[in-house]
Amino acid sequence: MANAPSAAPSALSDVKWYPDYDTPYDEATCLSGGNPNGRPTYATQGECCIKAYPDQTTGACFAGMATAPSAAPSSVDDIK
């Protein structure tokens, strides 16, 4: 897993993803595990990318996914 959680989750629903605001927008991805500074959290990495980086033209967030989509999805429903 590209961004493995820092502790073993007890259920898949325990894994939360949050935006990496410490990295420049065009290079940023979503991280899992502990959430610093109360950032918004999302159930999936894809949802995080769509909602946190909607105007990212580089595709860095989606490229950082373990199973990256072949094209940038426009909604959470586009991610299978």
pLDDT at 42: 93
Note the pLDDT tens digit of each residue in 15-40. 799 999 999 999 999 999 887 788 99
Note the pLDDT tens digit of each residue in 34-78. 877 889 999 999 999 999 999 999 999 999 998 877 666 666 665
Q: Which is nearest to 17 in space by CA: 80, 76, 78, 77?
A: 76
SS3 46: helix
- Percentages (nearest 5) of helix, strand, coil residues in the chain: 30, 10, 60
pLDDT at 77: 65
Residue, of 8 and 44, whose pLDDT is higher: 44
